[in-house]
A and B are shown apart, each in its own frame.
Chain A
Amino acid sequence: MSDAKVIPLNPDREPDDDGRSSFLGEQPLAGAFRFLRRRLEGSYEVDDFGFDRELTTDLLIPSLRPLYEKWFRVEVHGIENVPSEGGALIVANHSGTIALDSLMTQVALADHHPAHRELRILGADLVFALPFVGNVARRAGHTLACNPDAERLLSSGELVGVWPEGFKGVGKPYSERYRLQRFGRGGFVSAALRARMPIIPTSIVGAEEIYPVLADAKLLARLLGMPYFPITPTFPWLGPLGMIPLPSKWHIEFGEPIMTDVFTDGAADDPMLMFNLTDQVRETIQHTLYKLLMQRRSVFF
């Protein structure tokens, strides 16, 4: 191993040409060994939010990539609408029982954006209260969906992702697929207005079909302290096998940015403007969803 070529794994290193950097490169063993050693020594950096860049680019994204490329075969449209630098707020529709749509969007931007942008996802508080899940979410750069965190990330030039439908969106029954739920209280609009960063309405097609929710076992959900308990054709009947998502074909379309720097300083305190902007974002996403659904040949191809 002494003559093995050492693959640098510096957090600030340039990704490979295709952006698919991971230690599984030319010298997988040496790279993996060095990676492991750094993890065991604790010699890595996390930012104030707990984002662990090295772990995310070298382990988390690569482990999601097969799901993204082979299983859902995600097609990305309008990636040029996402700026190469500076802050922006990605606002997208939420579906699919578990938040795979958020993770796939993160992979899409890391792999397919020319600047390999890191998406900082805003998650529900429940996510961060869960053991393991919350921990991995923080490491992956996600943080609590609250205005202080959103504004702080946006103002420091980060690309932030929010799924304002929340649990209403992910947990909705199959019969209501692609029908947008209420967009929270529009808090994401005020965050973007205060930080003066553009909003990018994003539409995700395909995630609705991965776990078709036939019913919600509300009593069970309440007992388990979960926001909903999905009953799908395979879950919970097949046990862990029922947790395998259906291999639907996905499309993610990033829409044209809605600029917020055209408004005056006090705009974030104007509720009417907030409602209007929220509606505008919601309508844009809904129309794009219909358009993408019209173009789709089948759920699986």
Chain B
Amino acid sequence: MARVVLVTGVSRYLGGRLARLLGQHPDVERVVGVDVIPPPDDIGNAEFVRADIRNPVIAKVIKAASVDTVVHMNVIATPVGAGGRSAMKEINVIGTMQLLAACQRAASVKQLVVKSSATVYGVSAKDPALFTEDMEAVRLPRSGFAKDSVEVEGYVRGFARRRPDVLVSMLRFANILGPGIDTPLARYLSLPVVPTVMGFDGRMQLTHEDDALAAVQAATFGEVPGTYNVSGDGVLMLSQAIARAGRVNLPLPTPFASVMRNLVRRFGYIDFTSEQIEYLKYGRGVDTSRITERLGFVTGYSTRETFDAFLLAHPLGRVLPWDAPEMPASVTTIGGAAI
């Protein structure tokens, strides 16, 4: 079956790479990539169409190319490059609404894959160690990217109800990191002195950017719709990650952490929401067994390997004098059975 795939957010790192990969896939006849600015990198066989998903024009693009698969990658985690937080929210929420409205009218659309995020599970001290897809947030996110993701998922669920003939998949990614991608977490961990919250240490799960792309493809070609968590195996403690990077960990008492957050935010370097402070305190874990069972998808990189790949590609210089630890290809499994 030759397919026509529409990829949104094609001028951003993951979207661009995905469009290139899909263009090489034997089952794909045509890839249409849309974004508001031309892609900075080569997107291979994919065709670029300048269109804003916040605008009804997107419906015409879908109709003209008789798109059957829509891959929505344009849910963005960082306001840098998007033009600030309000523009980011508009791209994420209004963009998704417009895109889904267009999909609902287009009879040719048979499949929808949406990049979501594990941030929909929120963060709190009362969280279970690992969230499965059926669990709900103990404390719903109230701001920033996490809230956008919750709203996007809400609209996608609404769409799935109205168009039951469309296969809908949502992928909830743990923090994506890797050699190429620019995320708030990557920026945070690249600081020479990394401020943390005193007395707390979050459990982090990471997804390698290659695994993220592989997961989107698995969902696109696997045709078992559903909501899936995606993350590398195992967790890394925040302090452990900072230590591995050879950075200086600067624990700040909670009130100072909030002051620091406001300063950083005003400076505009990182969108730092109160949810992210909570994440640094408690972290979050997701259970990834469902995607393995239903789609046969297994990540190639564990959380630790993802982090090490990120470190290797970012030769920012170690701040602390000792050498980087050896990087064993070990994998942590659930419950510590195979540590």
Contacts and interface: CB of A to CB of B under 8 A. Distances in A.
Interface stretch (B4-12, B108-116, B152-160, B324-332): B324-332
B239 to A, nearest CB: 7
Interface in A24-44: 37-44
Given A131-B198, A144-B129, A152-B129, A42 B242 contact: yes
A235 to B, nearest CB: 23
Interface string A47-64: 111111100000000000
A167 interface: no
Nearest to B282: A128
B126 A152 contact: no
Contacts of B201: 50, 135, 138
A48 B235 contact: yes
Nearest to B241: A42
A143 B125 CA distance: 10
Nearest to B254: A131
B135 interface: yes
Contacts of A42: 239-244, 325
A147 to B, nearest CB: 8
Nearest to A132: B199
Nearest to A54: B339
Contacts of A152: 129-130, 334-335
Contact of B125 (A11, A128, A132): A128
B203 interface: yes
B108 to A, nearest CB: 41
Given A48-B235, A148-B128, A43 B339 contact: no
A47 B285 CA distance: 11
A146 interface: yes
B339 A48 contact: no
A131 B200 contact: yes
30 contacts: A37-B322, A38-B325, A41-B243, A42-B242, A46-B203, A46-B236, A47-B335, A48-B130, A48-B333, A48-B335, A49-B203, A50-B235, A51-B336, A125-B126, A128-B125, A128-B126, A130-B199, A131-B254, A134-B199, A148-B135, A149-B128, A149-B130, A152-B130, A155-B335, A156-B336, A156-B337, A157-B335, A157-B337, A158-B335, A158-B336
Interface residues of A, number: 39
A48 B128 contact: no
B199 A41 contact: no
A40 B243 contact: yes
A103 B339 CA distance: 23
- The binding surface of chain B is classed by DSSP as loop
Nearest to B203: A50
A47 B282 CA distance: 15
Contacts of A148: 128-130, 132, 135
Nearest to A41: B325
A153 interface: yes
Contacts of A134: 125, 199-200
A239 to B, nearest CB: 22
A129 interface: yes
Contacts of A43: 244, 325-326
B239 A47 contact: no
Contact of B322 (A40, A52, A129, A132): A40
A279 interface: no
